[in-house]
Structure 1
Amino acid sequence: MPDISTNTGILSALASRQGGASIELDRITKLYPGQTAPAVEDFSMRIEPGELVMFVGPSGCGKTTTMKMINRIIEPTSGSIRIDGNDVLSLDANELRRHIGYVIQQIGLFPHFTIAENIGTVPRLLGWSKQRIKERVEELLETVQLDPGVFANRYPRQLSGGQQQRVGVARALAADPPVMLMDEPFGATDPITRERLQAEFLRLQAEIGKTIIFVTHDFEEAIRMGDRIAVLSERSRIEQFDTPANILKNPANDYVSSFIGEGAALKRLALIPSGDAPLGPVDASAPASTVASTDSLREALDHLVFTGAPRINVTEGDRAVGSLDYAAISSVLGAEAPRSAARTAGTAAAEGRP
């Protein structure tokens, strides 16, 4: 039986951890009773503190099973899992889950609880005081851009799908966990709401710096959001684990290429801020519409195509700092795209910049 005092010490360390924590999975395997082939086989990975890692792969490949073994909703058959070097398989599973944020596609809000009560669920289980819970609920509602005075006492049925999803994220963050697991959290929303939620979450992650595993079947979502992407095939075999830019530029094999699909160059441009391109001088004859230096080169290319102009000016704040043409945009594809670009673009979208 695991030592109780040791468990308490590890969980206390997790609870007090600021930002994110490292996650190590070492040769994890899951074999269900009565099955001859494992659902997950010999899976190993290290995720750095504060990193947002996307698991992408077809339905049934084992990506959700792999993720659920981290918080032990599913118990592994063999292997080890460590968070900040601590063996999570030695801990009480229920207590462990209270220190790991978990967001699912169906959201899972309690329909007869108010929004404030939903968000405060885990803090109540952890024994927080009513005042501390109230303050944390208000802080999180503001963080996910829902007015506490308007939404705290409403019920889930009184919120839109996108608002409910934001509450689900707030609930997962309530006890300030160092690790968050997200299972296709935006999959049930319409395309416009989904894009907005992605942008808001990237803005939020830039502030909180949690370690996040995010399961999706949408490669476009993986490219936009991930620091690194794990492209998984049957039994959670890792076909490639790399930055979005490197996967787009150098897919490991035909299987990875099939996920990228057509338009790899345009997808790479969506990861690179306009300010990272070689800028020419400000062009007084360029169209009045401009792109910010934090907007992606894909957006800059869209502006050029839409206006038909040979150049477009790039701005920082209210000041033009240079200009871009087709040749400058094309030249960037030969260079390595920065890993932070997707978040830069996401932050720009969240702030409502064009």
Structure 2
Amino acid sequence: MSDIRLIEVTKQYDGQPHPAVDAVSLDIPAGELVVFVGPSGCGKTTTMKMINRLIEPTSGQILLGGEDVLAKEPNELRRHIGYVIQQIGLFPHLTIAENIKLVPGLLGWSRDRCEKRSDELLDLVGLDPSAFRSRYPRQLSGGQQQRVGVARALAADPPVMLMDEPFGATDPITRERLQNEFLRLQAELRKTIVFVTHDFDEAIKLGDRIAVLKERSHIAQYDTPEHILANPADDYVASFVGSAAALKRLALIPVAKLTARPGGAQDGLPAVPDGASARDALDLMIRHGTSSVRVAGGTVDFETISGLLGSDHGR
């Protein structure tokens, strides 16, 4: 795994009075998913693209695993950094397998190794290789294409991934499924990921840490979702958090971490699925008109969950 360090990184475009990105310094720990969130035009995508040199920094230093990215040949650098964008960018004239095998082929992998890796990744992102490897992008739904885009970014097993609004063009149901699938993948793979979004709820759901960016990528706050929700640094950050901070914090607390009451009358109580949050448990109570739900080992009641709203729980 590789950490990422941005040290006083600036991007100044010719003819512009102010830099697009102004002296940004940020440490991104290895194996963490860090989300850049902020309004359109604040510089979050520009900052991310300087990491793989799709945009060249004007000044400053970017270290990837302790090595200066500006000392590397750009194309070689990019072959070791996965990149996923909203528009997906699959080559329409190539099959799904050929799209996934592209970078490993450029790196000199054998044909058998490329094919094995393609099938492995299709299976990993929930697409049956026998059904999808020979299809073309036009034969897939938007959500399926996004899964292939993630698989292609993972093809050469890069230590770092950059993701620019990758799920933004999908409908809300597909977007939630993709987010859940990606969280499952990240729990298994532990890549170092920079993820750009304008959706604060998405940032809360996916990020190990969130960088809330202002104009010219000035960092208003850089912290865990839990701490940002509980203690926004200023009014600007509070405007992202909104009025439902307490409920958003519940979504970060796995119901499995709550102390279940053993036994008790469970007949007719709805059951919380594996991996659910305290927010999911609360929603289930409201939908079914009950004051408790079934969990592994017993029940969790409304009083237990409401008691979390004033406390500072981690994930």
Pairwise TM-score range, normalised by the shorter structure = over 0.9
For 1:250 and 1:72, locate their aligned partners in 2 and report how far apart those are by CA, in whole Å.
Answer: 34
Equivalent of 1:259, from 240, 247, 251?
A: 240
User: Which residue does 2:302 correspond to in 1?
Assistant: 326
TM-score, normalising length from structure 1?
A: 0.86
Structure 1 partner of 2:200: 219
Distance 1:87 1:49 in 2: 16
Unmatched tracts of structure 2, length 5 or more: none
Q: What is the SS of the residue equivalent to 1:120?
A: helix
Runs of 5+ consecutive residues of structure 1 not aligned to the other structure: 1-19, 316-320, 340-354
Match of 1:133 among 100, 103, 114: 114
One-letter code of the match for 2:302?
A: Y
1:249 pairs with one of 202, 224, 230: 230
Deviation at 1:129, TM superposition (A): 1.3
Q: 2:205, 2:238 → 1: CA distance?
A: 17
Q: Deviations over 1:141-175 (max 9, x none)?
A: 11111111111111100111001000100110111
Q: Percent identity, please.
A: 65
CA–CA distance in 2 between the matches of 1:160 and 1:166? 10
- Cα deviations by residue, 1:49-98 (Å, 9 ceiling, x for unpaired): 11000100000000000000000000000000011101111010111011
> How much has 1:336 moved relative to structure 2?
2.6
Aligned with residue 72 of structure 1, among 33, 53, 71: 53
In the alignment, which of 336, 339, 345 is matched to residue 312 of structure 2? 336
1:303 to 273, 284, 288: 284
Counterpart code for 1:43: V
Please give the residue correspondences for 1:235-246 in structure 2 after superposition, counting only pairs within 5 Å. 235-246=216-227
Question: Which amino acid is the alignment partner of residue 219 of structure 1?
Answer: F
Q: 2:74, 2:33 → 1: CA distance?
A: 24
**Letter of the aligned partner of 1:29 in structure 2?**
T
**Structure 2 CA distance, aligned partners of 1:271 and 1:286?**
28
Cα contact 1:273–1:293 (8 A) shared by 2: no
SS at match of 2:14: coil
Counterpart for residue 189 of structure 2: 208
How many residues are paired up?
315
2:14 corresponds to: 33
Aligned to 2:220, what secondary structure does the other structure show?
strand
Q: 2: distance between equivalents of 1:221 and 1:43?
A: 23
Q: Which amino acid aligns with 2:80?
A: H
**Alpha-carbon distance between aligned partners in 1 of 2:74 and 2:10, rounded to the nearest angstrom:** 18
Contact 2:269–2:292 (CA<8 Å) still a contact in 1? no
Tell me the SS of whatever aligns to 1:149: helix
State the match for 1:16 in structure 2.
none
CA distance in 2, matches of 1:328, 1:119: 47
Residue identity matched to 2:41? G
Equivalent residues of 1:277, 1:332 under 8 A apart: no
**Aligned mates of 1:99, 1:187 — CA distance in 2:** 24
